[in-house]
């Protein structure tokens, strides 16, 4: 298939690369042009504007936040202007439910189609095409884009025709991860203050939960390996904000999200903003009077 890809950051770059590997013809656009050029050596065509990346009728975007995606879509020479009638915009970014709804409407008004397709997984998973993709949008668009959605991940879940549903699911999933990180952080602080070896606890947690996610994050927390960051704490704060906004709009409080949010604010205030967001565990340790 012929498609565009906009946003070549730590996640977007390997995703675009995997689309090329899967045999698709990809026009890439990135604000910092050099990252696009690097992909040209893999066979990508470099687009001069977001609009130009839309020429094939399908475009995928992977940008850092609402504002960046809004800029690329609604801005001059943007996606909205670039897509033909019947064209499809696939938004992989973790964005607000609210923006997802606005994009759905804006594309519809132009006779275009919108798919929200946020992904679970870190850069390593993106590189290995091992992301979990959660997609929602009109059935017609979904069918057409399935090969594109499947090329970037190990598993594709379609959660209906209403695009914002995919974003709600993504934010809910991130919420579970954030809750787990906070719980790990609090329990490790307790164990350390009680003189219990965190490594022993980790092994037991592994035997009980049998989850690679607990194993990986548990090890990071036990070893305090927060640097370099896989996902920065200050970006985690953005995600928490999106969860809380989505929940407020839906009329459901998320008390753990509020708690984690406050701890991330505290972490940034204490200079931990550029560490991995699992350093929320360090915030818990500091509260318990530990120095690290």
Q: Which residues are catalytic?
A: 170
How far apart CA 76 and CA 96 sit, in angstroms, is 22
Question: Could you say which residues in the range 158-187 bind a copy of itself, by CB under 8 A?
Answer: 159-160, 162, 164-165, 168-169, 172-173, 175-176, 179-180, 182-184, 186-187
**Shortest Å, Cβ 61 to a copy of itself:** 21
Instruction: Please pick, from the candidates 23, 193, 216, 227, the single residue that binds a copy of itself as defined by CB under 8 A.
Output: 193
Instruction: Please pick, from the candidates 28, 69, 126, 246, the single residue that binds a copy of itself as defined by CB under 8 A.
Output: 246
Helix (H, G, I), strand (E, B) or coil at 131: strand
Instruction: Please pick, from the candidates 41, 76, 109, 207, the single residue that binds a copy of itself as defined by CB under 8 A.
Output: 207
Does the footprint of a copy of itself cover residue 263 (CB under 8 A)? yes
Question: Could you say which residues in the range 117-146 bind a copy of itself, by CB under 8 A?
Answer: 120, 132, 134
Does the footprint of a copy of itself cover residue 95 (CB under 8 A)? no
Q: Is the dihedral of CA 75, 76, 78, 81 positive or negative?
A: positive
Task: Tokens for 193, please give them.
Answer: 């203050």
How far apart CA 178 and CA 186 sit, in angstroms, is 12
Does the footprint of a copy of itself cover residue 292 (CB under 8 A)? no
Query: 33 near 61, Cβ under 8 Å?
Result: no
Please give the backbone phi and psi of residue 247, each rounded to the nearest 5 degrees, phi first. -70, -40
- Provide the 10 A C-beta neighbour count for residue 213: 12
Q: Which residue has the tokens 């993709």?
A: 133
Question: Could you say which residues in the range 34-93 bind a copy of itself, by CB under 8 A?
Answer: none
Does the footprint of a copy of itself cover residue 197 (CB under 8 A)? yes
**Shortest Å, Cβ 100 to a copy of itself:** 11
How far apart CA 153 and CA 129 sit, in angstroms, is 5
Instruction: Please pick, from the candidates 203, 216, 223, 227, the single residue that binds a copy of itself as defined by CB under 8 A.
Output: 203
How far apart CA 66 and CA 235 sit, in angstroms, is 12
CB nearer to a copy of itself: pick between 85 and 207: 207
Q: Which of 236, 226, 288 is nearest to 264 (CA)?
A: 236
**Shortest Å, Cβ 19 to a copy of itself:** 21
Does the footprint of a copy of itself cover residue 235 (CB under 8 A)? no
> Where would I find the beta strands (DSSP E) of the chain?
2-6, 25-29, 45-46, 58-61, 88-91, 113-116, 119-120, 131-137, 153-158
Does the footprint of a copy of itself cover residue 214 (CB under 8 A)? yes
Does the footprint of a copy of itself cover residue 205 (CB under 8 A)? yes
Query: 226 near 190, Cβ under 8 Å?
Result: no
Does the footprint of a copy of itself cover residue 200 (CB under 8 A)? yes
> Number of residues in contact with a copy of itself, rule: CB under 8 A?
74
Does the footprint of a copy of itself cover residue 229 (CB under 8 A)? no
């Amino acid at each position: 298939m012929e498609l565009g890809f906009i946003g070549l950051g730590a996640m977007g770059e390997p995703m675009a690369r995997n689309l090329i590997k899967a045999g698709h013809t990809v026009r890439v656009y990135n604000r910092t042009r050099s990252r696009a050029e690097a992909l040209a050596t893999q066979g990508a065509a470099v687009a001069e504007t977001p609009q130009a990346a839309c020429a094939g009728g399908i475009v995928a975007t992977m940008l850092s936040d609402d504002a960046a995606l809004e800029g690329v879509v609604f801005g001059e020479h943007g996606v909205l202007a670039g897509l033909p009638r019947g064209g499809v915009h696939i938004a992989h970014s973790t964005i607000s439910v609210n923006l997802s709804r606005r994009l759905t409407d804006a594309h519809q008004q132009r006779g275009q189609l919108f798919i929200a397709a946020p992904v679970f997984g870190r850069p390593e998973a993106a590189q290995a095409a091992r992301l979990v993709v959660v997609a929602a949008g009109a059935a017609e668009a979904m069918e057409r884009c399935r090969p594109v959605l499947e090329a970037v991940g190990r598993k594709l879940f379609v959660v209906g025709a209403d695009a914002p549903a995919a974003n709600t699911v993504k934010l809910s999933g991130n919420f579970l991860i954030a809750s787990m990180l906070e719980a790990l952080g609090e329990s490790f602080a307790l164990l350390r203050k009680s003189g219990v070896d965190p490594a022993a606890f980790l092994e037991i947690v592994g035997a009980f939960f049998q989850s690679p996610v607990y194993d990986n994050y548990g090890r990071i927390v036990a070893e305090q390996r927060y640097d370099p960051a896989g996902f920065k704490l200050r970006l985690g704060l953005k995600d928490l904000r999106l969860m809380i906004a989505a929940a407020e709009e839906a009329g459901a409080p998320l008390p753990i999200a509020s708690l984690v949010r406050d701890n991330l604010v505290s972490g940034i205030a204490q200079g931990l903003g550029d560490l991995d967001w699992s350093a929320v565990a360090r915030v818990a340790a500091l509260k318990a009077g530990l120095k690290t």
